[in-house]
């Protein structure tokens, strides 16, 4: 920890529609590797890059499923910060809120390689660069993303789990089982 830092905080944002074992394995392994005190699973209110392209479950339902997924897991917490803010969810604003609550925190934004590839399209990305270290994990089936010059950038190896919320929504629609791809608390919640 940097001298004077109050905590090392991971921020893992997503739509989590629904949360699956790929998300959970990323969160616990990044926390372990980088010795983060906590990882917040930050549920997007309106994922502006997805709105319009498909139906998205209500934010409170997605939040309840993430809550069910992390209940009792050490160091993982769900965050409703973007639901409380309302409107479109921008990481730049979320980081600013987390720093205004405690300016001494060190922030780590955790991204799968597909999300990292789109980083420069984010709203006010320069504010993200200034406020946090980016942590990239490889996502099976997506190309590795080189570190962006001028960014604080880490890479963490996590187990490769080829699962996506899109595939799980398809399964739920067809009545195929979700078991072992999401936790059973999440199955119960869906």
Judged by CB under 6 A, which stretch of 31-39, 65-73, 149-157, 159-167 contacts ligand ATP? 159-167
Among 23, 31, 65, 105, binds ligand ATP (CB under 6 A): 23
**Order of strands, sheet of 153-156, starting from the edge strand that comes earlier in the sequence:** 76-79, 38-43, 8-14, 106-112, 133-137, 153-156
Burial of 94 (0-12, 13-18, 19+ CB in 10 A): buried
What is the spatial distance between Cα 68 and Cα 72, in angstroms, rounded to a whole number? Answer: 9
Judged by CB under 6 A, which stretch of 19-27, 77-85, 94-102, 176-184 contacts ligand ATP? 19-27
Enumerate residues 46-75 that contact ligand ATP by CB under 6 A: none
The H or E element containing residue 25 is helix 21-33
Burial of 83 (0-12, 13-18, 19+ CB in 10 A): middle
Among 76, 139, 181, 182, binds ligand ATP (CB under 6 A): 139
Least gap, CB of 15 to ligand ATP (angstroms): 4
Nearer to ligand ATP, 114 or 123 (CB): 114
17 lines the binding site for ligand ATP (CB under 6 A): yes
Three-class DSSP category at 55: coil
Enumerate residues 160-179 that contact ligand ATP by CB under 6 A: 161, 163-166
Least gap, CB of 49 to ligand ATP (angstroms): 10
What is the spatial distance between Cα 52 and Cα 124, in angstroms, rounded to a whole number? Answer: 22
Q: What CA dihedral angle connects 147, 76, 13 and 64, to 10 degrees?
A: 160
Enumerate residues 79-138 that contact ligand ATP by CB under 6 A: 111-112, 114-115, 137
Task: Give the binding site for ligand ATP (CB under 6 A).
Answer: 14-17, 22-23, 26, 111-112, 114-115, 137, 139, 161, 163-166
């Amino acid at each position: 920890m940097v001298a004077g830092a109050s905590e090392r905080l991971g921020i893992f944002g997503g739509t989590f529609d629904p949360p699956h074992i790929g998300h959970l394995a990323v969160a616990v392994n990044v926390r372990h590797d980088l010795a983060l005190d906590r990882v917040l699973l930050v549920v997007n209110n309106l994922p502006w890059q997805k709105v319009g392209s498909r139906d998205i479950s209500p934010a409170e339902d997605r939040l309840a499923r993430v809550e069910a997924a992390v209940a009792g897991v050490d160091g993982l917490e769900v965050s409703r910060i973007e639901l409380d803010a309302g409107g479109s969810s921008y990481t730049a604003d979320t980081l600013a809120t987390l720093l205004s609550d405690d300016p001494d925190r060190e922030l780590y934004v955790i991204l799968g390689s597909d999300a990292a590839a789109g980083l420069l399209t984010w709203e006010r990305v320069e504010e993200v660069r200034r406020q946090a270290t980016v942590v990239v994990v490889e996502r099976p089936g997506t190309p590795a993303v080189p570190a962006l010059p001028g960014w604080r950038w880490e890479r963490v190896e996590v187990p490769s789990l080829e699962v996506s919320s899109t595939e799980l929504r398809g399964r739920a629609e067809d009545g195929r089982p979700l078991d072992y791809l999401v936790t059973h608390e999440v199955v119960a919640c869906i």
